[in-house]
Amino acid sequence: MTSLASSERQGLCDTFERVGPDAPTLCSPWLTRDLAAHLVVRERRPDVAAGIWLPALAGRLERVQKGYAAWDWPRLVDRVRSGPPRWSPVSLPPMDQAINAVEFFIHHEDVLRGGPDWSARELPGDVEQAIWSIIPGIARARFARSPAGVRLVAPSYGQRLVRATTDLGTVIVKGSPGELLLYATGRRGVAQVDVSGPAEALTTLQT
């Protein structure tokens, strides 16, 4: 199949074109133009992209990103759609999949679910399977400091213990792979999952 990174990139750009540059996203206060600018900077401006992680460089990053956000919308979307430049290692399909699959899936959902009226899209089985194969590494990193154990369960796909059981017990998070990925990456308010477990474990995980 087409890689998840590639299909979600194109799907996100189609959604960008449909909703326009001033639509809300889950990355509030960013609008779609700001999210698109973030993706361009991330792929094409390594000289400033480090500001995503390093506070000392955040000011320059913000200035450069605002410059891209002010571009003509079709031009900005086309820059995202065209992918990384040839000099970037991410232009190689295996690297693109490794680095961008989660990034573009999550940000696509940030736009699709950014407004008040949204419904979850139905993902093809091969896409769900691809997401399920990615989840362990992402979730283990995200829940590494969880005070409770965490087990992710996807009916028809299996289950992953991503944080070992602690004295508080284990929280079970159940849903489709896509929804579990949203939950694991902090989109808990929109992730359509069932969460169960000991009361104290649930409280500490949520807080």
CA dist., res. 147 & res. 167, Å (int): 9
Q: Is 77 helix (H, G, I), strand (E, B) or coil?
A: helix
Q: Where in the chain is the domain with CATH 3.30.1050?
A: 125-206
pLDDT at position 49, please?
Answer: 77
pLDDT at position 57, please?
Answer: 77
Radius of gyration of the chain (CA): 18
10-residue mean pLDDT profile of the chain (207 residues): values are 88 98 96 97 86 81 93 98 89 89 97 94 94 93 93 94 91 97 95 96 87
CA dist., res. 183 & res. 160, Å (int): 14
- Residue 146's φ and ψ, nearest 5 degrees, are -60, 135
Pairing of strands 194-196, 170-174: antiparallel
Classify residue 174 by its DSSP letter.
Answer: E
pLDDT at position 90, please?
Answer: 83
pLDDT at position 207, please?
Answer: 75
Pairing of strands 158-163, 149-154: antiparallel
Q: Where are the alpha helices (DSSP H) in 82-176?
A: 93-112, 125-142
Is 125-206 a CATH 3.30.1050 domain? yes
Q: Tell if the pTM clears 0.85, that is, is over it.
A: yes
Long-range CB contacts (within 8 A, 24+) of 155-161: 157/128, 157/129, 157/132, 158/132, 160/135, 160/136
Helix (H) or strand (E) holding 154: strand 149-154
